[in-house]
Amino acid sequence: MAYIDYYKILGVDQKASADQIKKAYRKLARKYHPDVNPGDSAAEKKFKEINEANEVLSHPENRSKYDKYGENWKHGEEYEKAQNHQRAQHSQSYGGYSGQDFGEGADFSDFFQSMFGGGGRSSRGSASGKFKGQDTEASLKLHLQDAAKTHQQTFNINGKKVRITIPAGIADGQKIKVKGHGSPGFNGGPNGDLIITFQIEEDPNFKRMGDHLSYGLNLDLYTAILGGEVQIKTLDGIVKLKVKPETENGTTVRLKGKGFPVYKKEGEFGDLLVTYHVTLPKNLSEQEKELFNQLKNLQK
């Protein structure tokens, strides 16, 4: 079982500080990011290795386990339990002698020998313990309009195409687990899972607030004063909305059910909040200025 040197991947020393690891990761992540290297499979592979190395070395507890158990750090506790169990059995079989009396690892199974190293061969055959493979992390960017509808996306994971259905209403930062599409399991154990984190891009028109959407609309002075009809953008298209006379700047109206779909609740939607921004006329003619003066005098 090949050893993966995460320190070498990030180009840092084993005694590197947390800050040095963080700086090395950011520098390499920028260099090998898929957006910077579109279609470059080698860069994509390198990017995944960098993320995997950072996942381990940036967390003190994970790093400590990795330094002790190597690439199988996630199964370190299971190993210690099995090791203690093996030693207890060995002690019973040999009249109270511990495994250390016969050489470290002398009575451990082939599975543990191949996973963690150590001298000697097992006389008990293969281990009965099965370990789940590591999870694979992935991220997916979506436009707001795409996140508002149920659709399918295809991933290339370990050379295999994985197609998933993304429910409408997915949130920024939300994770979806796809079972069995991570790293292979150990000793016949199940594969790890694919963990997908979604990143919803900002939209030029709408701002999302949970299941609600907000939208700013410029309203001319005359319509604000006299009232009228305006066209409003929604995720479904254009709708007409009546404006009440003497509408003040900053007024917000609520359009029921015209917001974002509620996650995994078919037919349920949030609201669309439309805020009016009253705009003043510019470059007035002399006649227009005179008319405004007349209105001013009438108000007095």
Strand 237-243 versus strand 228-234 pairing type: antiparallel
- In sequence order, the β-bridge partners of residue 233 are 238
Is the per-residue pLDDT at 191 higher than 80? yes
Architecture of domain 136-200: Sandwich (2.60)
pLDDT digits (tens, 9 = 90+) for 116-158: 344 433 333 334 467 888 888 888 999 999 999 999 988 777 7
Assign 97 a pLDDT band (cuts: 50, 70, 90). Answer: very low
Q: Cα separation of 295 and 215, whole Å?
A: 32
pTM: 0.55
Q: How does DSSP assign 163-207, residue by residue?
A: EEEEPTTPPTT-EEEETT-SSPPBTTPPP--EEEEEEEPPPSSEE
**CATH topology assigned to domain 6-116:** Helix Hairpins (1.10.287)
Going from N- to C-terminal start, the domains of the chain cover 6-116, 136-200, 206-299
pLDDT digits (tens, 9 = 90+) for 221-252: 999 999 999 999 999 899 999 999 999 999 99
Q: Cα separation of 191 and 184, whole Å?
A: 4
- Residue 149 vs residues 185, 204, 262, 265: alpha-carbon distances, Å: 35, 18, 10, 12
Going by CATH, does the domain composed of 206-299 fall within 3.40.30.10? no
Q: Cα separation of 26 and 182, whole Å?
A: 24
Average pLDDT of every residue of the chain: 81
pLDDT digits (tens, 9 = 90+) for 105-119: 333 334 334 433 444
What is the reported pLDDT for 99? 37
Of the listed ranges 14-23, 181-190, 272-281, the least confidently predicted one is: 181-190
Mean pLDDT confidence for 169-192: 89
Is the per-residue pLDDT at 25 higher than 70? yes
Domains 136-200 and 206-299 share a fold: yes
Q: Counting runs of H as helices and runs of E as strands, what totals does the chain give?
A: 9, 11
Distance from the Cα of residue 106 to its chain's centroid: 44
